[in-house]
A and B are shown apart, each in its own frame.
Chain A
């Protein structure tokens, strides 16, 4: 996984179940809706009235919560993004000014670029965790212990981990440079140099997220039907071909899930940045887009501008996710 918390604010992660359209017996989303709708004939008078009432009561809280804490703020955002608003006086309509400022704001682009760059950690993390999962899928002593150890950083709090790494990346007395010194490399002052601050954050993100993706891959590997592999073996497929053509396709839903959550989480990276490089890093080299939004909104009181940027971020995340779903649905067909 990328430089993100695997278990961020839960509401931010997309539904894993929706992600899968693979050739399993029940394609989840559509099957689900069909199952309850189709298998039961519509209302039968006396029995359905209390059902409707109770049903409405049961679904009321999330619907209400959604309206209050997602829909209403979103609508307000859509208005505020087009205003000059400092939070102290009421918003003043300003047309497209905020978006025009954004287009010409080097720090906005820089922070967008930084956010994107930090996502390099996603494929790196996925590759390593897939290798780890394959290794852990063998029968050997200590498997349970390994799983616990690899996942340990994942459960630790972001704040504590960020503080730890800030210290571990210290140029003179940090752990990382100490290790490099052992192999004769004079390490940089990671968090203070423009070239190194992003790799340092990626390193930390991979370290933190590795366990989570490994666990998911391992679970998926363990569920690859043995008879499928055996059949392939009988057909004369070598280990690599079996992996490439049987195992890997079976893992694609997990990969998809991890990539989607990784991107959504990565796009919202904030805590690490704010703790490790409180001013946005050397030459603004580690400021992520959410950090910049937060800074503009709550430090410079440019709430209108910050809202406009957050809308753009939301739209970007939405588009990227939708595009992934589109790719995924095509992909699955080619696999099948």
Chain B
């Protein structure tokens, strides 16, 4: 197929293209055969390989043809949006939870409930929280018809570099008992130092990726981004300020995190990979890479603020089916296949990109000591117990949260006061949140 297209293309070019039609290629989104499914997804090169292999199993088993369209992570969102706007929504596509409300309201997503009821695949075995994330009743997320299958749930767990802890002679964290913020700070201080004695710091306690990790500090301190029904932005509370201040101080005051200058070129992630960071998030999608590193690592709960309990966010990607799909039944079958079929899960989980998507499989996986890290139970605890979904999955548009992070740099660098920033940002965020709800109302009217 590819080769033929290439040949037609080359011929067209050679003929200096007298007619436009002859020379213009068509993308995979245009398959003339309604029985061929198109599936648009994203990921690193390995992830794309893994999913392509899982899809191959589906093709072999059902005889249904599937065209794959894959993009890098950064470009996926716009690529999908333009495909949808361009009237060529793929039959299946990865769905970011933040888009669920908008896509359902505007009739982009097909309701999968019926197919879930009919299938023989073990859909009920999938994490309940993962499924609920894609239910939408027209007003709020969590109830109502199901609009996507969770491709995965991604518990954003904390972890640590065992080797570095031994080297610096620091007591490793307990896998079950979370550290308090003070204890955490003490360990971080003990981990920060100059190992090779050349006068510059070359190991640090931790390194905070603010967009991914601030949630944990905020939640475990009893604060939140929005109130219960996600109508009011609540970043101007003292608990919130305390959490943000704690994170800022880790670097600016206690210097247990690489400074701005030190993170030039080699950011926290790169330094962690080089074994210079003590505590760092260990998300499932990073496991393949982390297992190849020169040091041992394991999972531990996030340190706790005022509430005394850990918290962190659970990411997820869904696989949605286009409302315009000509074969929604088959598309739904593939979505369910990828998210819970044992053989597909074997391929996907086997590569270490994700935790098992079904509870039964997860139980075995946690017990298997041959798979690093040892404390995999932490992932299950996060999904079943102390994880939260990111707040934007409950709102109509994600901009209100984006705006918080766009201008946060001066705060992180200690150039701007935490309280001041939060006070100034709250109304802006609230504005965007309100705009989102206005938009929801307008879109609902336009589509009714």
Contact = CB atoms under 8 A, between A and B. Distances in A.
Interface in A39-88: 84, 86-88
A203 interface: no
A79 to B, nearest CB: 16
B364 to A, nearest CB: 40
Contact of A171 (B265, B406, B428, B446): B265
Contact of B107 (A88, A174, A194, A278): A88
A88 B85 contact: yes
B290 to A, nearest CB: 23
Nearest to B106: A88
B148 to A, nearest CB: 17
A192 B264 contact: yes
Nearest to A94: B442
A173 B265 contact: yes
SS of A interface (majority): loop
B447 A89 contact: yes
Given A92-B446, A278-B74, A283-B409, A299 B81 contact: yes
A298 B82 contact: yes
A89 B443 contact: yes
Given A88-B84, A172-B264, A300 B399 contact: yes
A284 B407 contact: yes
Contacts of A172: 264-266
B200 to A, nearest CB: 13
A170 B270 CA distance: 14
A189 B262 CA distance: 10
Contacts of B107: 88-89
Interface string A88-101: 11101010000001
A92 B442 contact: yes
Contact of A301 (B74, B81, B406): B81
Contacts of A280: 406
B78 A299 contact: yes
Given A88-B107, A192-B264, A300 B397 contact: yes
A274 to B, nearest CB: 10
B439 interface: yes
A52 to B, nearest CB: 28
B446 A89 contact: yes
B324 to A, nearest CB: 11
Contacts of B108: 88
B226 interface: no
Interface string B420-448: 00000000100000010001001101110
A63 B83 CA distance: 30
B122 interface: no
Contacts of A84: 439, 442
Contact of B85 (A188, A192, A298): A298
29 contacts: A84-B439, A86-B102, A86-B106, A86-B439, A87-B85, A88-B108, A89-B443, A90-B446, A92-B445, A106-B428, A171-B264, A171-B265, A172-B264, A172-B265, A173-B265, A174-B265, A189-B264, A189-B265, A192-B264, A280-B406, A282-B409, A283-B406, A283-B409, A283-B410, A284-B406, A298-B85, A300-B397, A300-B399, A301-B102
> Top 8 nearest A-B pairs by Cβ distance?
A172-B265, A171-B264, A88-B106, A189-B264, A89-B446, A171-B265, A87-B85, A298-B78
Interface of B: 74, 77-78, 81-82, 84-85, 102, 106-108, 264-266, 397, 399, 406-407, 409-410, 428, 435, 439, 442-443, 445-447
Given A88-B84, A89-B107, A301-B81, 17 more contacts: A86-B443, A88-B106, A89-B443, A92-B445, A106-B428, A107-B406, A170-B265, A171-B265, A172-B264, A172-B266, A173-B265, A174-B265, A282-B409, A283-B407, A284-B407, A298-B85, A301-B85
